[in-house]
């Protein structure tokens, strides 16, 4: 850590501060500059409360040298984490993971058909929401436990592993046979939920919050890993910016930036980012070309009758063409680009 | 609702769409413009799923005419909601509500002293966090149930009602004697939590999410009111913008804008917005002059030793001067400005 | 246009407003809803000042049905604009335009070498800044006219057409032999500059402002086209968001969104978006896969000695590999994706 | 400056780097941490190009210790700058500067009346736009030189000094008798304009760009001061955020933050920030209570007929009440708050 001292700090004040810091087992390296004094702290700073240092009246600013996340950090774990679920391989770069399905589970017939369709298109994981986070209390909130039941039937019939969002710890028992649990963007900093999920042994897909920085997102992943869960998947789904021409702004740079910072796999959700079905294809292509480990796309048999997020859903026939193209593009990029 | 039809929609397609809409009990008012056709829908559109309309292939855009929130809407409830807790009167404009206390509850001695100090300064409500949402799993997470216990002792000793944040429904039993429950910014769209809290009969202070629009914030308040809880307080605490010179950007305009849209009281938290104690006073003064119903401020007996958010906390002596000034300013504005 | 009337507008007030609007040659279509009245205006609304309508005391809101931009609008001009400069073909989808060169022109030797290098790598246009917009008055401001001179020598020696930024109309005479003029992000709404450039007959590359919406960007392009210049190129270079992990957030969605709205070609500048050279490759690949018409990349013979933007510049050898890969990727996408 | 070295930098590489830095006359203070090495540079770093350091392949990050702005920095100039124009005193805290007038100058009659009205209300400076920056080339662009002429007549008749926006250096001759020149938000980083204006001896009011950080804004003020102009006024007019419920988000925190960083006076423009006339009063009150040196407000004799920005303009009668209230509030705050 580096402390920038305020102008006019006296020698006596510095001495007292340094003694306090040395008492924490740190070595002190003051640098007297022309205008200001900065102090480097060397040692195990993981026990040093950066808040306390910042609250010190002598302190103008405190900056970290090391990242605050440990288990998700690529420096601690240089090899890519690779997660295998059914036929899907998530992470590592060799394969592209395709996740597809409706925004919300609506009926047995719907799920049966869609599961068969997306499997035929090459998707390895089936998505579907049973518990839906909706901005309005008057909007369709999902089928709840019955939705999970329909998902499980579709899993059985299709053989595809399934992913679904958990919003409330009290619902955890329903998720026993769900293969991957999703934490939604609005719950990315629901720390009670994160802590509980870090104790289970299923993969967790953690969506980025609408206004979460890379560091906050990684810290939430750190929560999920803090009790031993090692199978965390990061999912970029668009951030909130001033631009209203798209629902959210897909932050494509997240792929290469996170690739450097963490060993965890990174999935892109172009459907939620764009909010419009005709933007899904170009964004999905961009994601693959930028190195994403997978793409999660909303598919609905009848988008205009969808109970949720119809405008951004693809018809199964569109998805089929897109999935084939994305696989081809992934193979091309893997084999031809450096 | 108003539907903008896509270019090139045929007469036959329009006819089919209009019949579908009329079947929902709506009256159709098509307007054939020079370049485009728009359609006004008249009737009870609360059952019309805007998502479905947007997913219709004939639809370029759908816009609402009425607000999607009802119970929080000032049009449905023209008079200000006024909430009384202990000596505090929150809302209505006659009095300024002052809430003060430490970011997190740390010890019996701390709470006893601070409660006496802020009461002496004129605060009517004592704040203190027992369950703390922290970005890092390695940071102090609050004293939990013991923290609530210390808050209750301070309540008893001082006579001040108390407010504390609830992060997890499972903790609800601990809050039985807490007077106001706070929902934090990171949980503003934790809909499971909102739904549960809408069934209890205590006031809820709902903080604005870091990137929540006014409408989303009001929709979350609508969740809280949807099962009958009428005592909702809105709290602006800064939004996330590109500016990094402050921790968040206090959106002072939220006060007059929400005043028009809703009857619920509006409180400002300058401490979290600024992140620095020397900005608390000017922002609190601005809040009062812009018409806020109250101000919530962090006070700590020893900011540089605070386990959380020390940099933004005021010493009790500073708070005492500020509280007196804010009351004077509120009285001046109430009595002299139009 | 659609006017939403305020609650409580009387019949008499409506009548007066309607008469006023009819006097402008418009047909009035009032729709009396359950809660509110909206009014559709049909006719030539290009003469209607939306500001005046919004200032009318009866008006709650005014929304447009048609876009405010005309000449840049794809509805008015369905085929792609294709601009040819030297061997470069910008727009139309068949070819990928590669623009490369240093952030700023520094010396004769540098420009001679770099021009040869980027030409050998396959770039069709040479970039280089002579007049540099710098945040600090103390930073290197570019070589000015001498820089243009060096660019022209490099043009002559290499046969590559050149692009350079113009910041001040007074400098226009120096640009006589410059093939494409660039308007920088900070000047995107320098309307005096835009108006003047709309009268010349050279292609203009218009960078998106840091916080400009798609509509504002297109309106600035409309300024450039308003006096007859038809050769406008749009360049996305990252927008300003809350995320500080990259210098700007590359808005990859701009490509498909603008493709729908306008016939003008769209170029991506991954160097300025990322601010770091190791992000340039993945972002450039994403741009090509999302359908960009070209990619502009900073290349410097000795990035760590660059007088400007060294951290984001590629070595010529890196660029050479990247350019080959981008051409391969473009051909693959053009020939294999739908 | 502080350099964070990349992991795995060898001793030999460090040695070479340090020698290079010492050759610049700097003293080197390396701190070997547990995970990383950081290097403090002491000496005159004003000649060190931070870009070059960041481009160095050994460098992970470079951070400044001192601010990059000098002349606008309060550390170099502890006392408030106070600017006197006519009866107005801008800066210093004793008086509140009131600037008022129409968005754009429209007619002789309008200016004559409005000048008399705002003077009677207590405004000390008259504003009016002759050259208008408009998003659309089809919108009213201002009366140009004729507008300046009308402003000068109003100045003569009323005795009020005037302020007007300059968009193009070529127009400078028209501004000879204009008392204060305004640089608009869209030109905040039009460096050619800033450099030229730094050579004249009139006060310049510099509006903050829509997405400009405090530091960028101060650097633009530094440009204005770089050739000797000492009379710079900063004007906050709202920043662009995700919130669309107001036209811009007034950043009230700018007042206390800039007060610490600079000696220059700070004015608030609530009209442009809000975009709606009924928000002007609460925002203006907030500005005064937060310590602004002045408030610039749009006033129009007939807002609904205004050629520009009618929705945010106040009637002279409204302004008269507001101006009296703001003066009272300023006096109260100055005399009663600490």
Instruction: Give a three-class secondary structure readout of C201-226.
Output: CCCEEEECCCCCCHHHHHHHHHHHHC
Task: Specify the pLDDT at position A139.
Answer: 86
CB-CB neighbours of A201 under 10 Å = 8
**The pLDDT of residue B308:** 75
Q: Which residues of B touch A310 (CB under 8 A)?
A: 51-52, 54-55
Chain CA centroid to CA B8, Å: 45
D43: left (phi over 0), alpha (psi -120 to 50) or beta: left
**Is residue B45 scored above 90 in pLDDT?**
no
Which pLDDT belongs to residue B309?
Answer: 75
- pLDDT for D303 equals 81
pLDDT value at residue B205: 98
Chain A residue nearest residue C245, CA to CA = A214
Contact flag B222-A137 (C-beta cutoff 8 Å)? yes
Antiparallel, parallel or unpaired: β B266-268 and B294-298 = parallel
User: Which residue is closest to D57 within chain C, CA to CA?
Assistant: C304
- CB contact (8 A) between residue A169 and residue B170: yes
**DSSP-assigned letter for residue D56:** S
Q: Each residue of B215-269: pLDDT tens digit?
A: 999 999 999 999 999 999 999 999 999 999 999 999 999 999 999 999 999 999 9
- Under an 8 Å CB criterion, which residues of C touch B? 2, 4, 7, 29, 31-36, 38, 40, 42-44, 63, 65-66, 75, 211, 240-242, 244
**pLDDT for residue A54:** 84
Q: Which residues of B touch D (CB under 8 A)?
A: 211, 213-215, 239, 241-246, 249-253, 255-257, 260, 273-274, 278-279, 282-283, 285-291, 321, 325, 328-329, 332-333, 336-338
Q: Which residue of A has its CA nearest to C247?
A: A253
Query: A136–B191: do the CB atoms touch at under 8 Å?
Result: no
Q: Supply the pLDDT for residue C209.
A: 98
Phi (first) and psi of residue A48, to 5 degrees? -85, 125
Residue A279: predicted pLDDT? 96
Residues of chain A in Cβ contact (below 8 Å) with chain C: 211, 213-215, 239, 241-246, 249-253, 255-257, 260, 273-274, 278-279, 282-283, 285-291, 321, 325, 328-329, 332-333, 336-338
Give yes or no for a contact between B101 and B114, defined as CB atoms under 8 angstroms apart.
yes
Name the average pLDDT for chain A: 93
pLDDT of residue D63: 85
Q: Which of D121, D215, D256 should one mutate to test binding to chain B, selecting the residue with the greatest count of B CBs within 10 A?
A: D256
* Average predicted confidence (pLDDT) for chain B: 93
Torsion of CA C317, C319, C320, C322, to 10 degrees: 130
Cβ <8 Å between B310 and A192 = no
For chain D, the maximum distance between any two Cα atoms, rounded to a whole number of angstroms, is 77
**DSSP codes of every residue in A126-165:** EE-BSS---SSTTS----THHHHHHHHHHHHHH---EEEE
Q: Is the pLDDT of residue D312 over 90?
A: no
pLDDT of D212-227, one tens digit each?
Answer: 999 999 999 999 999 9
Q: In this structure, are residues A25 and A34 in contact, taking their beta carbons and an 8 Å threshold?
A: no
Q: What is the CATH number of domain D2-63?
A: 3.30.70.1140
- pLDDT confidence tier of residue D309, bands split at 50, 70 and 90: confident
CA A125 to mean position of chain CA atoms? 17
- For β-strands B2-5 and B59-63, DSSP reports them as antiparallel
Interface test with D, best of B242, B286, B318, B333 (most D CBs within 10 A): B286
Nearest to D276 by CA among D244, D235, D234: D244
Confidence (pLDDT) at A167? 95
In angstroms, rounded to a whole number, what is the distance separating the alpha carbons of residues C108 and C104?
12
- Taking every pair of Cα atoms in chain B, the longest distance, rounded to a whole number of angstroms, is 77
In the predicted structure, residue A23 carries a pLDDT above the cut 90: no
* The pLDDT value given to residue A306: 75
Residue of B nearest to C27 (CA): B33
**So what's the pLDDT on residue A138?**
87
Task: Give the best residue of C60, C186, C218, C219 to mutate against chain D (max D CB count within 10 A).
Answer: C186
| Residues belonging to chain D with any Cβ–Cβ distance to chain A shorter than 8 Å | 2, 4, 7, 29, 31-36, 38, 40, 42-44, 63, 65-66, 75, 211, 240-242, 244
Per-residue pLDDT of D319-334, as tens digits, reads 999 999 999 999 999 9
For chain A, list the contacting chains (3+ Cβ pairs, <8 Å).
B, C, D
Residues C55, D186: C-beta atoms closer than 8 Å: no
Q: Write the pLDDT tens digit of every residue in C69-101.
A: 999 999 999 999 999 999 999 999 999 999 999
pLDDT beyond 90 at A34: no
Closest CA of chain C from A126, distance in Å: 24
Q: Which of B191, B210, B308 sits opposite A211 (nearest CB)?
A: B210
User: Which helix (H) or strand (E) is B257 found in, with range?
Assistant: helix B254-261
pLDDT tens digits, one per residue of B57-87: 888 888 888 888 999 999 999 999 999 999 9
Q: How far is D286 from chain B (nearest CA, A)?
A: 4
CATH H superfamily, domain C83-336: Aldolase class I (3.20.20.70)
Whether pLDDT at D92 is above 80? yes
More confident residue, B65 or D87: D87
* A65, A67, A68, best to mutate vs chain D, most D CBs in 10 Å: A65
Chain A residue with CA closest to B133: the answer is: A191
Angle between helix D316-336 and B316-336 (nearest 10): 150
Distances (CA, A) of D139 to B323, C45, D129, D209: 49, 13, 14, 21
Best residue of D1, D9, D32, D65 to probe chain A, by most A CBs closer than 10 Å: D65
How high is the ipTM of this complex?
0.94
| Per-residue confidence (pLDDT) for residue D127, from 0 to 100 | 98
Q: What is the pLDDT along chain C (338 residues), one digit of tens a residue?
A: 899 998 889 999 999 889 988 888 888 999 888 778 899 988 877 767 777 788 888 888 888 888 889 999 999 999 999 999 999 999 999 999 999 999 999 999 999 999 999 999 999 999 999 999 999 898 889 999 999 999 999 999 999 999 999 999 999 999 999 999 999 999 999 999 999 999 999 999 999 999 999 999 999 999 999 999 999 999 999 999 999 999 999 999 999 999 999 999 999 999 999 899 999 999 999 999 999 999 999 999 888 777 777 788 999 999 999 999 999 999 999 999 97
- Please answer whether residues C190 and D190 qualify as being in contact, where contact means their C-beta atoms are separated by less than 8 angstroms: yes
pLDDT score recorded for residue A85? 97
As separate numbers, helices (DSSP H) first and strands (DSSP E) second, chain A gives 10, 14
Phi/psi for B275 (5° steps) reads 80, 0
Distance CA B142, CA A182 (A): 27
Residue D160: both structure tokens together:
């009020």
Ramachandran angles phi, psi of B227, nearest 5°: -110, 20
CB contact under 8 A, A34 and D43: yes
Condensed to tens digits (0 to 9), the pLDDT of residues B83-136 reads 999 999 999 999 999 999 999 999 999 999 999 999 999 999 999 999 999 998
Q: Are the C-beta atoms of residues C309 and D50 closer than 8 Å to each other? A: no
Domain ranges within chain C, ordered by starting residue = 2-63, 83-336
């Amino acid at each position: 850590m580096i402390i920038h001292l305020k102008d006019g700090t006296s020698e006596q004040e510095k001495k007292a501060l340094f003694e306090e810091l040395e008492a924490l087992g740190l070595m002190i390296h003051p640098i007297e500059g022309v205008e200001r004094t900065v102090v480097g702290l060397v040692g195990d700073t993981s026990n040093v409360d950066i808040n306390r240092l910042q609250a010190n009246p002598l302190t103008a600013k405190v900056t970290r040298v090391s990242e605050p996340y440990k288990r998700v950090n690529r420096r601690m774990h240089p090899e890519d984490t690779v997660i295998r679920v059914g036929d899907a391989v998530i992470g590592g770069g060799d394969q592209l993971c395709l996740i597809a399905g409706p925004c919300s589970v609506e009926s047995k017939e719907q799920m049966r058909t869609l599961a068969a369709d997306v499997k035929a298109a090459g998707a390895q994981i089936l998505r579907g929401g049973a518990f839906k986070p909706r901005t309005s209390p008057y909007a369709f909130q999902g089928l709840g436990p019955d939705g999970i039941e329909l998902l499980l039937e579709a899993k059985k019939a299709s053989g595809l592993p399934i992913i679904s969002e958990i919003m409330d710890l009290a619902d955890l028992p329903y998720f026993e046979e769900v293969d991957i649990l999703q934490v939604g963007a609005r719950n990315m900093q629901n720390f009670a939920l994160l802590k509980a999920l870090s104790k289970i042994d299923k993969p967790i897909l953690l969506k980025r919050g609408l206004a979460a920085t890379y560091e906050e997102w990684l810290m939430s992943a750190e929560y999920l890993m803090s009790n031993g869960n090692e199978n965390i998947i990061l999912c970029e789904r668009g951030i909130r910016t001033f631009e209203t021409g798209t629902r959210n702004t897909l932050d494509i740079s997240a792929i290469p930036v996170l690739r450097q910072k963490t060993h965890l796999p990174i999935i892109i959700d172009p459907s939620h980012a764009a909010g419009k079905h005709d933007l899904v294809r170009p964004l999905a292509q961009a994601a693959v070309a930028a190195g994403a480990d997978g793409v999660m796309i909303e598919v609905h048999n009848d988008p205009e009758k969808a109970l949720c997020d119809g405008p951004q859903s693809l018809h199964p026939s569109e998805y089929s063409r897109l999935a084939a193209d994305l696989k081809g593009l992934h193979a091309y990029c893997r084999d031809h680009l450096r």
